[in-house]
Chains A and B, each alone.
Chain A
Amino acid sequence: MEWTRKDLLGIEDLSREEIDYILDTAEGFREVSARSVKKVPALRGKVIVNLFFEASTRTRISFELAGARLSADVIQFAGSSSSTQKGESLNDTARNIEAMGIDIVVVRHPSSGAPYQLSKALAASVVNAGDGSHEHPTQALLDIYTMRRALGRIEGLKVAIVGDVSHSRVARSNIWGLQKLGAEVYAVGPPTLVPRGLAKLGVKVSHHLDEILPEIDVFNMLRLQTERQDQGLFPTIREYSRLFGLNRQRMRRAKPSAIVLHPGPINRGVELTPDVADGPQSLILNQVTNGLAVRMAVLYLVGSRGGSGGPW
């Protein structure tokens, strides 16, 4: 296979082969972070801008570090503290940045579709770092990569995505990716937070975590946005936690080989009790480490495309 895409906008339009190719490439990047000189010259001379219109710590730092390890120059742009507050449009901001000679734009934006719009407006490559409640492709890729490394395969795995599936771009990207790779996906949460239409996509919908608990290979626990309580989508955090949180009792009923993932930041005591979050089945910190390798792979693939040339 050969990578030909200019952008990474979402998982939905990727083929199974493309997803596997990104994960295989990430595997090749793992050792870079273990070297004494944690840097390769693959994107030397390229410029990456982190264009974040939404608060983010780990994703932004992860992309920044991934870029640095590929020897690219990485520039930070926080949408909240700049020209956007003066009313500049997204395309104008991006075109101005591109005029400075940017090769890759990593964008996070509260509006679904913003990265797509940018990719049409810019010659530079665009990587979606989360858009509205649409997609968060690199998070899904690092989740799937973590599952594949821990369990050796994706095909046939039973993966439960637990929590606010309705509003979650992480859930959406996970569902696309996992289904393409042949996993069985369960969406678990209160009826107010799990869209009924998911069943049409082949996702198994459950409102009772305990019923499916013993069969599940991977628990991907979504972060609960506590402001959803104000919207009346669930009565209390305590009740949510009692019905959909992972605790010691539930882990005892789960498969001993089951793994627990969480995109972070964790609400300790809500999605996971501390003993589960820090327990042997939790791969939450592996996700962070793997995220670096996956983002290096993505930046390398979109960023090192070039013209045509002769044999090397």
Chain B
Amino acid sequence: MPPPNPSSPRRPDDPAPDASPERVKRLLGQEAFEKTFAGWLDRIQKTVAPAGGSGATGPWALVGVKRRGAILARRLWKELSIGSPQLLYGEVDISLYRDDYHLHASKPQVLGTEISFGVDGVSILLVDDVLFTGRTVRAAMELILDFGRPRVIQLACFVDRGHRELPIAANIVGKEIVTEREDEVRVRLAELGEVDGVEVILGGSR
């Protein structure tokens, strides 16, 4: 089951084009990104995959959080499905599960959730690009639970930037970085016409 193509519309979470260049700090260049990804993949393979992937514990699935988390999940799936061809794949759009509708005038476009397998009894590895307040993960878990009762949900995040507002932790982190609350962290991806990398916009783009 090959993953579908990346969805392309621009979302408001993309950085404002006018963020002045001196405020943009590149934390991981293309090469460092590649290394970090390889290490992340390796740990996923060693820890999560055997726990959820052996025949005794039933099927497991990668579920990416749209948009950037889903792109990373697709990359992981490509590598992991070589060893476990039964690996399931899904993508979630958490925009209908946000807890802040009443706070914002703008909202991201609804992209739709694609989970075509029954989640009952499945071990799910949730994949996102940046772990920040934990609210996205909370929303994604609530969404997945609306589809049924997975055996376990684990979390893999490429970057953990701290400042949690909910009691949520990732099982596997690609890289931990130190940021201020107001900073914005962007994982740049080739699939979106960017150069792979991680950037911090100091003080945010607003």
Whether A41 lies near B104 (C-beta < 8 A) is no
B107-120: CB near A (< 8 Å → 1, else 0) gives 10111111000000
With known contacts A312-B98, A312-B135, A304–B107 Cβ distance under 8 A: yes
With known contacts A28-B93, A36-B147, A304–B106 Cβ distance under 8 A: no
With known contacts A36-B147, A300-B96, A30–B112 Cβ distance under 8 A: yes
Interface residue? A31 (CB, 8 A): yes
Whether B184 lies near A41 (C-beta < 8 A) is no
* Alpha-carbon distance between A42 and B112 when the two chains are bound, in angstroms: 13
Chain A residues with Cβ below 8 Å from B106 are 2
Interface residue? A280 (CB, 8 A): no
Whether A42 lies near B101 (C-beta < 8 A) is yes
Whether B146 lies near A37 (C-beta < 8 A) is yes
Chain B residues with Cβ below 8 Å from A25 are 109-110
Q: Identify 16 new A-B residue pairs, CB closer than 8 A, beyond the known A31-B113, A311-B184, A311-B204.
A: A2-B12, A21-B109, A24-B109, A25-B109, A27-B112, A28-B109, A28-B110, A29-B110, A37-B147, A40-B96, A40-B97, A42-B101, A300-B96, A304-B107, A306-B105, A312-B13
Q: Which residue in chain A gives the minimum CB-CB distance to B120?
A: A36
Chain A residues with Cβ below 8 Å from B96 are 32, 40-42, 70, 300
Interface residue? B148 (CB, 8 A): yes
B contact face: mostly helix, strand, loop, or mixed: loop
Whether A309 lies near B146 (C-beta < 8 A) is no
Chain A residues with Cβ below 8 Å from B105 are 2, 4, 305-309
Interface residue? A178 (CB, 8 A): no
* Alpha-carbon distance between A30 and B113 when the two chains are bound, in angstroms: 9
* Alpha-carbon distance between A42 and B96 when the two chains are bound, in angstroms: 5
Whether A311 lies near B146 (C-beta < 8 A) is no
B73-108: CB near A (< 8 Å → 1, else 0) gives 000000000000000000001011110111111110
* Alpha-carbon distance between A30 and B96 when the two chains are bound, in angstroms: 13
Whether A308 lies near B112 (C-beta < 8 A) is no
Q: Give 17 pairs: A residue, B residue, CB < 8 Å, sorted on A.
A: A1-B109, A2-B12, A24-B9, A27-B112, A29-B112, A37-B147, A41-B142, A42-B101, A297-B110, A300-B110, A306-B103, A306-B105, A308-B103, A309-B100, A310-B206, A312-B13, A312-B133
A225 shortest CB reach to chain B, Å: 37
Q: Pick the contact of B146 from A21, A29, A40 — CB < 8 Å?
A: A40
* Alpha-carbon distance between A3 and B101 when the two chains are bound, in angstroms: 13
Whether A309 lies near B184 (C-beta < 8 A) is no
A149 shortest CB reach to chain B, Å: 13
Q: Pick the contact of A31 from B112, B135, B206 — CB < 8 Å?
A: B112
* Alpha-carbon distance between A310 and B132 when the two chains are bound, in angstroms: 14
Whether B97 lies near A41 (C-beta < 8 A) is yes
Whether A306 lies near B204 (C-beta < 8 A) is no
Interface residue? A200 (CB, 8 A): no
* Total number of B residues with any Cβ neighbor in A under 8 Å: 33
List residues 273-311 of chain A with CB under 8 A from any CB of chain B. Answer: 297, 300, 304-311
Whether A36 lies near B97 (C-beta < 8 A) is no
List residues 149-192 of chain B with CB under 8 A from any CB of chain A. Answer: 184
Chain B residues with Cβ below 8 Å from A31 are 112-114
- Listed from nearest, the 4 A-B pairs whose CB atoms lie closest are A28-B110, A309-B103, A28-B112, A40-B96
Chain B residues with Cβ below 8 Å from A40 are 96-97, 143, 146
A30-66: CB near B (< 8 Å → 1, else 0) gives 1110011101111100000000000000000000000
Chain B residues with Cβ below 8 Å from A42 are 95-97, 101
Q: Pick the contact of A309 from B13, B104, B136 — CB < 8 Å?
A: B104
Whether B110 lies near A306 (C-beta < 8 A) is no
* Alpha-carbon distance between A24 and B11 when the two chains are bound, in angstroms: 13
A29 shortest CB reach to chain B, Å: 7
Chain B residues with Cβ below 8 Å from A297 are 110
Chain A residues with Cβ below 8 Å from B101 are 42-43, 304, 306
* Alpha-carbon distance between A243 and B101 when the two chains are bound, in angstroms: 52
* Alpha-carbon distance between A42 and B206 when the two chains are bound, in angstroms: 25
* Alpha-carbon distance between A307 and B101 when the two chains are bound, in angstroms: 9
Whether B100 lies near A312 (C-beta < 8 A) is yes
A238-254: CB near B (< 8 Å → 1, else 0) gives 00000000000000000
Chain A residues with Cβ below 8 Å from B95 are 28, 42
Q: Which residue in chain B gives the minimum CB-CB distance to A44?
A: B101
Chain A residues with Cβ below 8 Å from B102 are 306-307
Chain B residues with Cβ below 8 Å from A29 are 110, 112
* Alpha-carbon distance between A28 and B110 when the two chains are bound, in angstroms: 5
Chain A residues with Cβ below 8 Å from B146 are 35, 37, 39-40
Q: Which residue in chain A gives the minimum CB-CB distance to B66?
A: A28
* Alpha-carbon distance between A70 and B147 when the two chains are bound, in angstroms: 15
